[in-house]
């Protein structure tokens, strides 16, 4: 478990983590955060746990959350952002956390749209953003992050071994979880105290530079089970993925872009675009 004194000094008198809940074990930090919204929490409340017994991922999946090896955290934010930015909150959170891990470890992190953190096409972390209204009707966002830090390869369940990785697995040595958490918290604090929230055009550019989905042939898996295949062409103004479908999906009319707001994306293969 993270030592309590060290944790307290990690977040001295800042907005983010000024209210901090640290659990040895909890079903899900996101579920706890959503419950707190009813109690008018402090903006920037941070909830972390050493072990989740019912960790949740995107698309109602479970998030594998064994004890004492990884990072599981949820940040509670009272969002005052204009509505057009709402779709960018999960994307920017993924971008910031990915960049922070990259800077702290020297390991290159790619983003798979919308916010999977990948190393060499395997998932090392994920973000689950959930929204709810406070008792006074104010909009709250829970930004949940799970990072596989020190999990050795043979400790993943069989069904995850091919698709998941950890920082330890990639580098061959363990990492200081507290230090990583401090860095992530610092970066998120900069965003949510309003200083570093980039303009939309810059956000698109920054996200595009880290997002390995763009330019790839992808299969889009919708929550209702339907699928389309195409090329991930660009990002829309609200952070949606714009996909140019393969001709077979539109009776030969493959020039109509489809906007994807919520889905799982499978990378099929990289398309190399050569400069003329
Ligand atoms: C994903 O499916 O990629 C998102 C995974 C998010 C997992 C984190 S761990 C901390 C927080 N609490 C949860 O129950 N889920 C998120």
Whether pTM > 0.85 for this model: the answer is: yes
**Ligand 1 atom with least separation from CA of 73:** 10
Checking if the pLDDT of 162 tops 80, the result is yes
Residues with C-beta less than 6 Å from any ligand 1 atom: 28-30, 52, 55-58, 61, 63, 72-74, 116, 126-128, 144-146
Mean pLDDT along residues 161-179 = 95
**Ligand 1 atom with least separation from CA of 146:** 9
pLDDT, tens digit (0-9, with 9 covering 90-100), for 67-96: 999 999 999 998 877 777 788 999 999 999
**Ligand 1 atom with least separation from CA of 52:** 14
Checking if the pLDDT of 271 tops 70, the result is no
Mean pLDDT along residues 221-248 = 92
**Ligand 1 atom with least separation from CA of 56:** 14
Checking if the pLDDT of 137 tops 70, the result is yes
Checking if the pLDDT of 275 tops 50, the result is no
CA distance 173 to 229: 38
Mean pLDDT along residues 115-142 = 94
User: What are the helix and strand counts (H, E) for the chain?
Assistant: 7, 12
pLDDT of residue 84: 73
Q: For all residues of the chain together, what is the average pLDDT? A: 89
Q: Whose CA is nearest to atom 11 of ligand 1?
A: 144
Checking if the pLDDT of 253 tops 90, the result is no
Closest of 170, 121, 167, 173 to residue 146, by C-alpha: 167
Mean pLDDT along residues 120-145 = 94
In the chain, what percentage of residues exceed pLDDT 70?
88
* Residue 243 CA to ligand 1 centre (angstroms): 26
* Residue 231 CA to ligand 1 centre (angstroms): 28
pLDDT, tens digit (0-9, with 9 covering 90-100), for 171-212: 999 999 999 998 998 888 888 776 566 778 888 899 999 999
DSSP strand E in the chain: where? 20-23, 45-49, 71-78, 110-112, 116-119, 122-133, 139-147, 216-221, 227-235, 241-245, 258-260, 264-270
* Residue 147 CA to ligand 1 centre (angstroms): 9
């Amino acid at each position: 478990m993270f030592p309590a004194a060290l944790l307290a000094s990690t977040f001295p008198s800042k907005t983010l983590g000024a209210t901090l809940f640290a659990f040895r074990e909890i079903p899900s930090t996101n579920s706890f955060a959503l419950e707190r919204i009813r109690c008018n929490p402090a903006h920037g409340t941070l909830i972390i746990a050493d072990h989740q017994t019912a960790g949740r991922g995107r698309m109602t999946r479970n998030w594998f959350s064994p004890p004492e090896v990884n990072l599981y955290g949820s940040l509670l934010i009272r969002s005052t952002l204009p509505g057009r930015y709402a779709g960018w909150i999960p994307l920017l959170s993924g971008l910031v956390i990915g960049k922070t891990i990259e800077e702290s470890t020297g390991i290159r992190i790619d983003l798979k749209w919308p916010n999977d953190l990948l190393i060499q096409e395997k998932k090392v972390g994920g973000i689950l953003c959930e929204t709810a209204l406070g008792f006074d009707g104010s909009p709250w966002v829970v930004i949940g992050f799970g990072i596989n830090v020190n999990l050795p390869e043979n400790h993943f369940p069989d069904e995850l071994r091919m698709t998941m990785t950890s920082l330890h697995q990639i580098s061959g040595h363990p990492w200081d979880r507290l230090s990583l958490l401090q860095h992530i918290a610092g970066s998120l604090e900069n965003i949510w105290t309003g200083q570093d929230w980039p303009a939309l055009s810059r956000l698109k550019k920054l996200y595009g530079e880290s997002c390995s989905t763009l330019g790839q042939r992808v299969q889009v898996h919708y929550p209702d089970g339907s699928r389309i295949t195409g090329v991930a062409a660009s990002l829309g103004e609200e952070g949606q993925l714009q996909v140019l479908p393969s001709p077979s999906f539109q009776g030969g009319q493959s020039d109509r872009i489809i906007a994807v707001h919520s889905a799982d994306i499978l990378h099929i293969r990289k398309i190399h675009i050569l400069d003329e």
